[in-house]
């Protein structure tokens, strides 16, 4: 570990906290339909869209109607993406003349991008045409993020409103989130990325002659001499901007944000990190303003910040330690990174920025990576795994992080009520049995899918285990991480394995679908029930949700729920691997 690394982590944290206030205030104005400086640009566009689609912007929806509209939109866009993938061989902007995508891969990818997961079991630059990347995938980066944003705002309205049966209008929230929030920031960010060297063109791939021919041996033992290299390119910057801002994570290239065409400089790396957290952090401020309790938004933000700092500190510490099995390898003679585990990391970013990126991308539901998590030390790799298993509510995905955290808030308030022996209240609203039941349903779906599918996979030697490049605890970590990433709508992977099989394409697709949409239904049910409630005046027994004590309770509830659910699996994966690694170094 180095002072330089800690200063970069500190600078990042401070900037996220500083940007949360203006971002949150702006989003409050957008979703409360108050005047903003972008109204002259997007106001006419919004009105035309409503006129063309027949949307009544003044119509308010109950939670059931809101859910049906969201599901219908997601289903329609998922089908569109699947069709584009399957027909890409006949469509334009296919400079490499790539064929249509295989059915299982196309379905997996369509579900993946619809659910804001962006899991990629394929090599993008050799599978997807430019048109598919833009029309099928980049558009979903906007849509899925906007859907999450709309759902979070609906939940906040449920908390803020009194004796109301409605949560707003899904189509209006979707439109305003896209036009006023995601689109303008992505446009500016894409230009900034181009200035740093991120490519943006429609040229065919280039071929370069190698200075020194390379001999490659395939699995059958056949050797081939390679004299050229294909250099992929395309409209990368436009997809990269919304990929990060929308916490999507699907890379234009297989190497994702470790690729120099996606993430060429330390500045581009830092800006990509900021863009992942800026909207989720801002939403806590939006929460505070819309419910009339800015301090409550601050308490939620503080809980997220505490969990983030704990994760990045652990990951940086673990990766700064040399591999104990490398007894005689001296890695301590570089001024930039003294010692530590550099396997799977870009020398452009080093250990500190790799640990920071891995923590940020898994705190949010963003699957972008600038290093290979499979190459992390066992405890270093445990951090991104745990981040996902907690529900990716530490800032979390755009919208999804906030409504996931608010479910934990409801549970924390309920526990606080039990502790003081009275009916729990949340910002003047009584938390009743129905709210707790829906919260527990939300929380139980998540581990059921992860642990259920992982258990089935490890019991199938030919189907589930044969694709793993690693056996033992690390292999278990890979399987557990894959299903956690899918169900948590993250999209990153431990890698090191071939996930492009029929079993994994279909099972991970189902996990992504359930992890997004089945968990949304109980969340909206909670929001709808809260909106109907009356406000109860505060009393001496009311547990305040604006204090450091509430932040501590909220963090404790999150960790206890996560520990009780996933500790046995984590113990058999990264923890056991860590113990075996150090036991092996003793001999």
Q: Are 372 and 259 in contact (CB under 8 A)?
A: no
What pLDDT is attached to residue 339? Answer: 67
Q: How many CB atoms lie within 10 A of CB 326?
A: 12
Phi and psi (nearest 5°) for 209? -85, 130
What pLDDT is attached to residue 584? Answer: 62
Each residue's pLDDT expressed in tens, for the chain with a length of 587 residues:
888 889 999 999 999 999 999 999 999 999 999 999 999 999 999 999 999 999 999 999 999 999 999 999 999 999 999 999 999 999 999 999 999 999 999 999 999 999 999 999 899 999 999 999 999 899 999 999 999 999 999 999 999 999 999 999 999 999 999 999 999 999 999 999 999 999 999 999 999 999 988 888 876 778 888 899 889 999 999 999 999 999 998 889 999 999 999 999 999 999 999 999 999 999 999 999 999 999 999 999 999 999 999 999 999 999 998 888 775 554 444 444 446 888 889 888 999 999 999 999 999 989 899 999 999 999 999 999 999 999 889 999 899 999 999 999 999 999 988 887 777 889 989 999 999 999 999 999 999 999 999 999 999 988 888 888 888 899 999 999 999 999 999 999 887 788 889 999 999 999 999 999 999 999 999 999 999 999 888 777 778 899 999 999 999 999 998 888 999 999 999 999 999 887 765 54
Burial state string for 374-400 with b = 16 or more CB within 10 A and e = fewer than 16: bbbbbbbbbbbbbbbbbbbbbbbbbbb
Give me the residue spans of the domains in the chain. 3-270
Query: How much is the pTM?
Result: 0.92
Cα 179–chain centre separation: 21
The number of residues in the chain equals: 587
Q: How many CB atoms lie within 10 A of CB 343?
A: 14
In degrees, rounded to 5, the angle at the alpha carbon of residue 163 between the alpha carbons of residues 158 and 164 is 55
By three-state DSSP, how is residue 5 classified?
helix
Q: Are 115 and 517 in contact (CB under 8 A)?
A: yes
Which residues on adjacent β-strands are paired with residue 200? 235
By three-state DSSP, how is residue 430 classified?
strand
Residue 100 to residues 105, 182, 250, Cα–Cα distance (Å): 10, 30, 19
CA nearest neighbour of 312 among 268, 277, 286: 277
Tokens encoding 256: 């994702």
Q: Is 548 exposed, middle or buried (0-12, 13-18, 19+ CB in 10 A)?
A: exposed
What pLDDT is attached to residue 334? Answer: 43
């Amino acid at each position: 570990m180095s002072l330089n690394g800690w200063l970069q982590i500190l600078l990042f944290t401070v900037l996220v906290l500083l940007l949360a206030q203006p971002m949150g205030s702006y989003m409050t104005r957008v979703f409360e339909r108050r005047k903003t400086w972008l109204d002259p640009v997007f106001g006419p566009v919004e009105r035309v869209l409503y006129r063309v689609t027949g949307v009544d912007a003044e119509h308010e929806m109950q939670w059931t109607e809101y859910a049906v509209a969201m599901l219908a939109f997601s289903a329609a866009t998922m089908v569109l993406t699947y069709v584009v993938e399957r027909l890409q061989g006949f469509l334009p902007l296919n400079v490499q003349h790539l064929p249509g995508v295989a059915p299982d891969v196309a379905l997996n990818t369509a579900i993946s991008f619809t659910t804001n997961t962006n899991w990629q079991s394929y090599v993008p630059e050799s599978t997807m045409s430019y048109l598919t990347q833009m029309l099928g995938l980049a558009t979903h980066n906007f849509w899925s993020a906007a859907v999450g944003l709309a759902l979070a705002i609906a939940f906040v309205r449920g908390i803020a409103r009194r004796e109301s049966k409605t949560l707003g209008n899904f189509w209006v929230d979707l439109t305003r989130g896209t036009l006023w929030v995601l689109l303008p920031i992505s446009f500016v960010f894409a230009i900034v990325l181009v200035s740093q060297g991120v490519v943006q063109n429609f040229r065919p791939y280039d071929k370069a002659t190698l200075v020194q021919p390379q001999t490659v041996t395939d699995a059958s033992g056949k050797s081939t001499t390679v004299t050229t290299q294909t250099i992929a390119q395309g409209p990368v910057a436009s997809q990269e901007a919304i990929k990060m801002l929308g916490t999507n994570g699907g890379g234009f290239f297989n190497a994702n944000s470790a690729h120099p065409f996606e993430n060429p400089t330390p500045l581009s790396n830092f800006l990509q990190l900021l863009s992942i957290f800026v909207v989720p952090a801002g939403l806590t401020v939006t929460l505070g303003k819309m419910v009339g309790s800015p301090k409550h938004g601050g308490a939620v933000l503080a809980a997220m910040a505490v969990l983030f700092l704990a994760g990045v500190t652990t990951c940086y510490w673990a990766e700064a330690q040399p591999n104990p099995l490398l007894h005689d390898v001296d890695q301590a003679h570089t001024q930039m990174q003294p010692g530590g585990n550099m396997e799977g990391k870009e020398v452009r970013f080093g250990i500190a920025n790799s640990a920071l990126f891995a923590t940020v991308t898994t705190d949010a539901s963003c699957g972008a990576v600038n290093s290979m998590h499979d190459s992390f030390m066992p405890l270093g790799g445990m951090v991104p795994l745990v981040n996902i298993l907690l529900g990716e509510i530490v800032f979390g995905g755009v919208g999804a992080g906030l409504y996931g955290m608010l479910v934990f808030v409801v549970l924390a308030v309920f526990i606080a009520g039990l502790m003081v022996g009275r009916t729990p209240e949340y910002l003047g609203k009584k938390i009743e049995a129905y709210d707790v039941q829906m919260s527990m349903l939300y929380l139980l779906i998540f581990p059921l899918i992860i642990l259920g599918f992982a258990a089935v996979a490890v019991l199938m030697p030919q189907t589930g285990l044969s694709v793993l490049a690693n056996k033992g605890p690390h292999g278990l970590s890979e399987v557990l991480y894959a299903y956690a990433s899918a169900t948590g709508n993250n999209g990153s992977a431990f890698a090191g394995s071939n996930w492009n099989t029929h079993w994994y394409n279909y099972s991970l697709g189902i996990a992504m679908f359930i992890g997004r949409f089945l968990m949304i239904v109980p969340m909206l049910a909670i929001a709808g029930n809260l909106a109907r409630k009356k406000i109860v005046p505060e009393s001496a027994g009311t547990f305040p949700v604006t204090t450091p004590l509430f932040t501590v309770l909220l963090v404790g509830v999150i960790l206890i729920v996560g520990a009780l659910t996933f500790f046995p699996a984590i113990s058999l994966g990264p923890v056991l691997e860590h113990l075996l690694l150090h036991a092996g170094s003793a001999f």
